[in-house]
Structure 1
Amino acid sequence: CDVFGIGGIRDKYPAEISGGEKQRTAVARALINHPLLVLADEPTGNLDSKSARAVIRTFEQARQALGATIFMVTHDSYAASHCDRVVILQDGRVRRTLEKGGMERSAFQDLLLDAIREMGKE
């Protein structure tokens, strides 16, 4: 709970907490049983940058400690830049697949943004 900053909402009902707190709670619940596969649909969508970083950091820890695979759907280039592989879709079709390899996270984010800009020119 402390990793996600949700310890203080333990005794509250869902109607009494914010959307971000609900989302962080959902991520914590998804990881509690140490799964080998996590399906994450916009896991940082309703979060402020600090909470989003905590979620991404926790996903990275799950991947390293458990060997878990994180399958994330996101519109957030920052979140995507932490992934090993990014598949860019447009209108339900695969437009491009990018591999991070040994690239630094910030350089990979720049590559992602360049790919998205190129798609906008078509």
Structure 2
Amino acid sequence: QQRTAAARAFFHKPQIIFADEPTGALDSKSANDLLQRLEEMNKSFDTTIVMVTHDPVAASFAERVIMLKDGQIHTQLYQEGRSKQAFYEDIVHLQSVLGGVSNDI
């Protein structure tokens, strides 16, 4: 179901995609494929992706990550040319500073 919904969204090349935990029900290969496709859509078609996730790996595909704490914006991280690995490590570090819970992304 999740893959079918994603394929439908990609087919129409929308200006904006809202993705709520898009990798939640996918195996790791399918999740990675989906994240790469979202990244491609953003770069090739200038599609804005608004993704809600608890997964720092998924978040590391973004150009900007907004961290929430107690329902408020706490901070923002920008990818700024860093590798996905370096950005991922920054996201995980910030999660630990915010209290070590992964549901604040």
TM-score clears 0.5: yes
Q: Whose relative contact order is higher, 1 or 2, with alpha carbons under 8 Å and at least 6 apart? A: 2
Rounded Cα–Cα distance in structure 1 between residues aligned with 2:21 and 2:49: 12
Rounded Cα–Cα distance in structure 2 between residues aligned with 1:109 and 1:64: 20
Could you tell me which residue of structure 2 aligns to residue 35 of structure 1?
14
Rounded Cα–Cα distance in structure 2 between residues aligned with 1:97 and 1:39: 19
Rounded Cα–Cα distance in structure 1 between residues aligned with 2:97 and 2:60: 17
Matched position secondary structure for 1:61: helix
The 5-angstrom pairing of residues 1-122 of structure 1 reads 22-120=1-99
Matched position secondary structure for 2:82: coil
Question: Which runs of 5 or more residues in structure 2 are unaligned?
Answer: 101-105
Rounded Cα–Cα distance in structure 1 between residues aligned with 2:15 and 2:44: 10
Rounded Cα–Cα distance in structure 2 between residues aligned with 1:74 and 1:80: 7
Rounded Cα–Cα distance in structure 2 between residues aligned with 1:60 and 1:98: 17
* Seq. identity, %: 41
Rounded Cα–Cα distance in structure 1 between residues aligned with 2:37 and 2:22: 11
Flag the structure with larger Rg: 1
Rounded Cα–Cα distance in structure 2 between residues aligned with 1:52 and 1:90: 26
User: Deviation per CA, 1:70-90, whole angstroms, max 9, x where unpaired?
Assistant: 110100100100100000112
Question: Which runs of 5 or more residues in structure 1 are unaligned?
Answer: 1-21
